[in-house]
């Protein structure tokens, strides 16, 4: 057992923030089905470093909740600042001292796609984490997002006019990723690092006004707290939890309906019956249309889906409507022998090969 866990009469009481962090990790791993091998994505910041310390507590013991546990870590160097390579090496050393193994430093190239530097860095980071998880056989990747991050996500979604799924924020367990700290404040992670004797790196981009999330974090959220009173952050995170449950149900119902309606007569083409789709509740209808687009590799947007829905009105153009991702949608004409008002033309979704 590590000296960090060694019991002694003079051992100081467990810091409450450390206890909350460890309990959060245990609860999240239980929800994730007790994975036996996990990776921690760590930037060296307070949030991910505190997460690494909490996970390492269980990894040193080799178990959590009576279930075996191995834990490694990945430090992604985006190469966007001169100091990041040294920060990555220092962070890797701290993670090894904590007892995580293996610890990998992965340098990535952030490709410009026009989505903005934050989204582009995120894409590169997640690709690296998934590759490392596959290489080591990790069942889950743990990330250090906090309740503050969740609140910022909801506020950004509101500003962008996003739908229920986006406003539902991040889920504690979703596919490969586990976010144990969504119920903890950022101040908790700073306290954990102090209690564990860890010195986190404070990324200067987190306070850089050029980035929208930084402006929300350093300007808008403090303003809302001062003008509306304390509890705004918790309220936004609570909104995410409520809308997330709603989105889960609507997505599940839409998936069931889509499975019963979609026809695939040929590769790269999906047919949906216009009459049945038109009769669906709006919240389900838009999701069913989006599922057809996604199945063919497209990216449904609010504006393009609205244009596709207008095809169901049988007024104006029958398409095609072009959707990002090289997908087009058109409405078939009604059969000539169909009785008036008894049949709507099918919607035809087609994937076009990229040239």
Residue list for the binding site for ATP: 43-48
Radius of gyration of the chain (CA): 24
- Residue 318 to residue 315: CA distance in whole angstroms: 8
- Segment (H or E) for 67: strand 67-68
Shortest CA distance to 64 belongs to which of 32, 99, 36?
36
- Under 8 Å CB-to-CB from 211, ≥6 apart: which residues? 117, 118, 205
Feature table: binding site: 43-48
Q: Three-state SS for 60? A: helix
Torsional sign, CA 287, 289, 290, 292: positive
As given in the structure block, the two tokens for residue 56 are 């390492």
Decide: residue 238, CB within 10 A, 0-12 exposed, 13-18 middle, 19+ buried. Answer: middle
Running DSSP on this structure, what letter comes out for residue 263?
Answer: B
As given in the structure block, the two tokens for residue 302 are 């609010």
- Residue 91 to residue 243: CA distance in whole angstroms: 36
- Residue 255 to residue 208: CA distance in whole angstroms: 41
- Residue 25 to residue 55: CA distance in whole angstroms: 7
């Amino acid at each position: 057992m590590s000296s960090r866990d060694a019991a002694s009469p003079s051992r100081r009481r467990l810091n409450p923030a450390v206890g909350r962090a460890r309990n959060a990790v245990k609860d999240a791993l239980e929800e994730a089905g007790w994975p036996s091998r996990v990776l921690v994505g760590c930037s060296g910041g307070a949030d991910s470093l505190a997460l690494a310390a909490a996970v390492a507590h269980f990894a040193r013991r080799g178990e959590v909740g009576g279930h075996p546990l191995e834990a490694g870590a990945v430090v992604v160097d985006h190469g966007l600042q001169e100091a990041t390579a040294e920060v990555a090496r220092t962070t890797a050393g701290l993670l090894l001292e904590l007892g995580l193994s293996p610890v990998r430093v992965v340098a990535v190239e952030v490709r410009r796609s026009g989505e903005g530097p934050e989204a582009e860095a995120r894409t590169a980071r997640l690709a690296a984490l998934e590759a490392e998880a596959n290489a080591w056989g990790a069942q889950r990747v743990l990330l250090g997002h906090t309740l503050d991050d969740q609140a910022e996500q909801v506020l950004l979604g509101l500003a962008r006019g996003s739908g229920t799924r986006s406003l539902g924020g991040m889920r504690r367990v979703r596919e490969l990723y586990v976010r144990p700290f969504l119920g903890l404040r950022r101040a908790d992670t700073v306290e954990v690092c102090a209690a564990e004797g860890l010195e986190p790196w404070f990324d200067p981009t987190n306070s850089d006004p050029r980035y929208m999330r930084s402006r929300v974090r350093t300007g808008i959220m403090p303003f809302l707290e001062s003008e509306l009173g304390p509890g705004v952050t918790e309220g936004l995170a609570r909104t995410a939890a409520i809308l997330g449950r709603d989105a889960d149900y609507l997505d599940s119902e839409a998936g069931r309906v889509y499975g019963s309606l979609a026809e695939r007569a040929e590769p790269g083409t999906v047919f949906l019956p216009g009459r049945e789709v038109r009769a669906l509740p709006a919240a389900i209808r838009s999701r069913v249309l989006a599922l057809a687009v996604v199945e063919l590799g497209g990216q449904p947007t609010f504006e393009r889906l609205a244009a596709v829905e207008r095809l169901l009105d049988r007024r104006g153009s029958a398409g095609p409507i072009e959707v990002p991702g090289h997908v087009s949608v058109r409405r078939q004409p009604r059969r000539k022998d169909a009785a008036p008002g008894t049949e709507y033309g099918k919607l035809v979704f087609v994937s076009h090969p990229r040239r």
